Amino acid sequence: MGMVSEFKDFIAKGNAMDLAVGVIIGGAFGAIVTSLVSDVITPAILNPALKAAHVENLKDLKTDSGILYGNFLSAVISFLVIAFVIFILVKAINSMKKKEAPAPAAPAGPTQEQLLAEIRDLLKK
């Protein structure tokens, strides 16, 4: 088998395609969450706190020694939003999955007492 046909088989496998789709959708999802945090959450929730700190942007928050803790806070907020949205999506997908019917119980065989009684009866004969 030539290298080209091996490569074609590798690409055609479902795992490679699923991974490619996941990466593309993940990138688009990251842009949506970034916009949600910077355009919705920060102005709606954090603006009063930022105005009290006399800062216009969360990333501008820093200590007197120059530590930019605003960047860290922004990253934490983004992470929490992403984690929460993924949690909601996974929960929704799991609820949509079909509930698998329980496997039929194995036919009940004779109990130990029944087997011992049969052996006793066979020995009596």
Q: Please, what sign has the CA dihedral across residues 10, 13, 17, 20?
A: negative
User: Which pLDDT belongs to residue 120?
Assistant: 92
Please give the CATH number for the structural domain made up of 3-99.
1.10.1200.120
Half-sphere exposure of 9 (CA within 13 A, CB side): 6
Domain segments of the chain as ranges:
3-99
- 39, amino acid identity: D
pLDDT tens digits, the chain, 125 residues: what are they?
Answer: 688 888 777 777 767 777 777 888 888 888 887 787 778 876 777 777 777 777 777 666 677 777 777 778 878 877 887 788 778 877 887 888 777 667 777 667 778 888 889 999 999 88
User: Which pLDDT belongs to residue 84?
Assistant: 82
User: Which pLDDT belongs to residue 14?
Assistant: 63
Does the predicted TM-score (pTM) go above 0.75?
no
